[in-house]
Amino acid sequence: MSHNAFYILGVSLTALLFSSAAFAAVPCSKEGFDELNRDNANTAYFLDHQAEKACVDKRYSSSGSVKDVYAKDEFEMIAEDGLGVTVLLRSSHDCGDLLQMRKGQRVAVSGTVARTYRTAGKILVKDANCR
């Protein structure tokens, strides 16, 4: 390889390193997902991976308002920061009767993130309970 080729390779690797490092601290939040969604320099696969790295298998606690109730153990809420959160409750969840929940009702939940939907600005939280 010529000297010029090594230079180009070095610049490319440096750019790749800095683009990865730029998202190392993306928070698991609507703001973090919005930041990823504005990035036009990286692939969707890379951005999805960054969202998963920030959220999946980590504890998530937030309060917000009920958007919809899907079943006796599943509902969707909009967190205070605007992040959409689908909540799958554990058997003893302290949320009361979900059939009595109403849209707009305030709720606070805590659970483990199972999945991210970066472009939609949503996450799926499992084994959750109300606090």
Count of C-beta atoms within a 10 Å radius of residue 100: 9
Domain residue ranges in the chain:
3-55, 59-130
Cα–Cα distance measured from residue 129 to residue 8, given in angstroms and rounded to the nearest whole number:
52
CATH domain 59-130 topology: OB fold (Dihydrolipoamide Acetyltransferase, E2P) (2.40.50)
pLDDT at 120 over 90: yes
pLDDT > 90 in the chain, percent: 73
pLDDT at 103 over 90: yes
Q: List pLDDT tens digits, range 9-57.
A: 454 555 555 554 444 569 999 999 999 999 999 999 999 999 999 999 9
pLDDT band, very low/low/confident/very high, at 60 (cuts 50, 70, 90):
very high
